[in-house]
């Protein structure tokens, strides 16, 4: 990348890191002031969230350390889900996202990441686009109807849109993580999907319950993530060009 692009990345990364650190501190402050106990767990969760922010910024820049911070974030979040009896989320993070951090570390090392270097990114060919696109749409439909069956709320309309955004976020997370761990540029299309779905989901929540201050915070949080994922797409489009160092369609 040229010097102007490097300068832009440094400024943008600082903006995302500082912005998300402020959001995390505000979220933690709200929760600490409202909680009568469990303060230690809230602080641990905040540390995990900050590691998640670092992992996101590092992955956008193709840096191997993303998986170290991702490992910490996923482990903490998975354990928090277990303690909160959110067993579906716990299983997703501890049984899928956690081992995929190790897979990603190994795969990125093979593709030249580490020692200050960026990963040699690649792009999906037509056959893989068809395969992963089919998996995504089938999984989305199945997840939507399963979540609808589990949803006990009788109201229609907005509630079903919330369920759809939840299903969309889940499928984008699953495929995005796989493509991240295997160094495909197209992961960013799924991360953008995750973040748009999350912003919409929390905006709908805010419309239903306007006094939910935490919902506004999550709108801001996922807006930052959306900006980072757009920057990640920009960087990885360059990293995965056939004329880039090792970039290729595979």
Same structural domain, 105 and 133: no
Whole-angstrom distance, CA of residue 187 vs CA of residue 171: 12
Same structural domain, 98 and 141: no
Q: Which residues span the domain enclosing 192?
A: 122-244
User: Comparing C-alpha atoms, which of 249, 248, 237 is closest to residue 1?
Assistant: 237
Strands in the chain per DSSP E:
122-123, 248-249
pLDDT reported for residue 37? 64
Same structural domain, 89 and 144: no
Asked if residue 208 is part of any domain, the answer here is yes
Number of structural domains (the chain) is: 2
pTM of the model: 0.85
For residue range 157-167, list pLDDT tens digits in order: 555 777 888 88
Same structural domain, 64 and 175: no
For residue range 96-135, list pLDDT tens digits in order: 999 999 999 999 999 988 777 889 999 999 999 999 999 9
- Residues 163-169: contacts with CB within 8 Å, 24+ apart? 165/197, 165/198, 165/200, 165/201, 165/204, 166/197, 166/201, 167/140, 167/143, 168/140, 168/193, 168/197, 169/193, 169/194, 169/197, 169/198, 169/201
Same structural domain, 30 and 15: yes
For residue range 127-173, list pLDDT tens digits in order: 999 999 999 999 999 988 988 887 666 555 555 777 888 888 889 99
Same structural domain, 94 and 200: no
Which of the residue ranges 18-32, 205-219, 228-242 would you say has the lowest mean pLDDT?
Answer: 205-219
């Amino acid at each position: 990348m040229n010097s102007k692009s490097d300068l832009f990345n440094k400024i943008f990364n600082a903006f995302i890191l500082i912005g998300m650190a402020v959001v995390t501190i505000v979220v933690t402050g709200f929760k600490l002031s409202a909680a009568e106990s469990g303060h230690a767990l809230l602080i641990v969760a905040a540390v995990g969230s900050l590691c998640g922010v670092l992992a996101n910024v590092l992955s956008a820049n193709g840096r191997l350390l993303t998986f170290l911070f991702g490992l910490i974030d996923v482990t903490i979040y998975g354990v928090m889900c277990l303690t909160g009896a959110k067993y579906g989320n716990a299983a997703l993070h501890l049984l899928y996202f956690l081992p995929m951090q190790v897979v990603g570390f190994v795969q990125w090392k093979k593709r030249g990441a580490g020692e200050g270097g960026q990963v040699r990114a690649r792009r999906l060919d037509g056959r893989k686009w068809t395969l992963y696109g089919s998996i995504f749409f089938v999984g989305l439909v199945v997840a939507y109807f399963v979540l609808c069956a589990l949803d006990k709320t009788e109201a229609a309309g907005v509630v079903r849109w919330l369920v759809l955004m939840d299903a969309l976020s889940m499928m984008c997370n699953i495929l995005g993580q796989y493509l991240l761990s295997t160094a495909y540029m197209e992961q960013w299309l799924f991360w953008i999907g995750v973040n748009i779905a999350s912003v919409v989901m929390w905006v709908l929540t805010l419309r239903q319950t306007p006094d939910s201050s935490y919902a506004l915070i999550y709108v801001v949080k996922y807006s930052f993530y959306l900006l980072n994922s757009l920057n990640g797409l920009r960087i990885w489009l360059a990293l995965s060009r056939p004329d880039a160092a090792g970039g290729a369609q595979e």
